[in-house]
Amino acid sequence: MTIRKGLAAVLVAASVALSAMLVPTAASAKNSARGTLVVKVVGSSGQPLAGVSVDLFGDRTSVARTGLTKADGTFTRKLPLDTYFVSVSDPDEILVPRASDSTGEVSVRVRKNRTSSRAFTLLQPGTIEGNVTRDDAVRPRIKVTVGRTDADNAFYGTFEAKTSSTGAFSIDGLSPGTYYVAFTARDFAYLPSCYGNFVPERDVELDGINPCAGSTKVVVSEGNVSTLQPELLTHRAGTVRGVVRHADGTRPAGVTFTLYEGGRRTTFTSDTGKDAYALRGVPPGTYRIKALSNSGYKSGYERYGPSWFGGTFFDDADTVTVTGGQTTSHVDFTLRPTVRVRVSQRTTKKPGRVILDVSVTGRKAARKGKVTVLIVGRTVTVPLSNGKGLVKFSKIPAGDYTAKVRYVGTKTWSPLSKKVFVEVD
């Protein structure tokens, strides 16, 4: 009797386990849910295109599918529920998608037991051609960069070409749409000249400068050639040369130079690992130049500088004049290891009172040094306790001021400027 009861219990347990295996859970049912995605590809006249490559990729599931369209121009797949990024391409590389369909951002959401669809149009590509030379009679050696925007005028892609020995260039395989063309001398002897508002990415970043404002956009139509007017580069750039050293004798691994002229800021980077540097492609003008090294100590990432050419602050730095087609030499820098200085102003009810919290981090020596603060010709020096100090001024006239903060330890370190506001009742 006991054996029969035990056997019955085993059979019941096995039956329950088998039932649990056969009945899907809510999670597994959700994971097994499917929807249908239909991609249709047609030509410029609406005719279906067979043999077009279609690629799908799931945003969350990372499910990837690829295949070719059928005779009716469709590509159909049953897929897990997700948002899929879709792209199409002509395997023969003859036709190209519309500009709006070739940004890599076309997405379609697949829903449970529903059919989602997306249509694409492939067109005959267009071409941009032209001729660009330079006024110094040197072989052109010019890079041509074509930038494209989407429907929202957001820039998202470039195409590049080099000119021939006579300055001729041609860039084909372009989706119909609006483009901007830029010409850059490969030796940076000239400022970039371009159509539209696009400046090509290169070693120098023109922050706040738009040398192409008000120029003409280039519209590429299906199967046609857009020919630009001949272009002559005439605006020559200058070069700045010098030597940049670390005060402790180490060699810079990478230095960032920032040139300031009014509201214009031009940034160059040099990572040659040599003391000597050359900044090419500098727009003519009169600048104050700041250098900052990205080299680090073994104890942690710390930079050298910043250091202004010929001065301690922006206001007392020497100016450097750059002339187009010429080289300005002997712009030299000596960079000292910097510490990180943070300054915050406390709120106080006393008229004419300024209280600043100063903290210094970066090197162990920084916590043993002092900070000097300069406001309207008055200087206060306080010792640091564990890297922190409290600086107080009184009887400061009402107004907005720039407090100049300098760390003084075993050496004198680069200064920091901090805007402060003084209120007098």
Average pLDDT over residues 286-311: 69
* Burial of 100: CB neighbours in 10 Å, binned 0-12, 13-18, 19+: middle
Spans of all domains in the chain: 33-123, 126-233, 239-335, 340-422
pLDDT in the model for residue 254: 79
Q: Which residues of 277-293 are buried (b: 16+ CB within 10 A; e: fewer)?
A: bebbbbbbbebbbbbbb
pLDDT in the model for residue 47: 94
pLDDT in the model for residue 213: 44
Q: Taking the domain 33-123, which CATH number applies?
A: 2.60.130.10
Confidence of residue 114 (pLDDT cuts 50, 70, 90): very high
Superfamily of domain 340-422, CATH level 4: Immunoglobulins (2.60.40.10)
Judge if pTM exceeds 0.75.
Answer: no
- pLDDT over 90 for what percent of the chain? 28
Q: Which residue has the higher pLDDT, 264 or 148?
A: 264
pLDDT in tens, 121-138: 999 999 999 999 998 878
pLDDT in tens, 36-58: 999 999 998 899 999 999 999 99
pLDDT in the model for residue 201: 41
Q: Taking the domain 239-335, which CATH number applies?
A: 2.60.40.1120
pLDDT in the model for residue 410: 47
Superfamily of domain 126-233, CATH level 4: Carboxypeptidase-like, regulatory domain (2.60.40.1120)
Average pLDDT over residues 318-337: 90
User: What are the DSSP calls for 248-310, one per residue?
Assistant: TSPPPS-EEEEEEETTEEEEEEE-S-SSEEEEEEEPSEEEEEEEEE---BTTB---EEEEETT
Please indicate whether the domains covering 33-123 and 340-422 agree at the CATH topology level.
Answer: no
Confidence of residue 360 (pLDDT cuts 50, 70, 90): confident
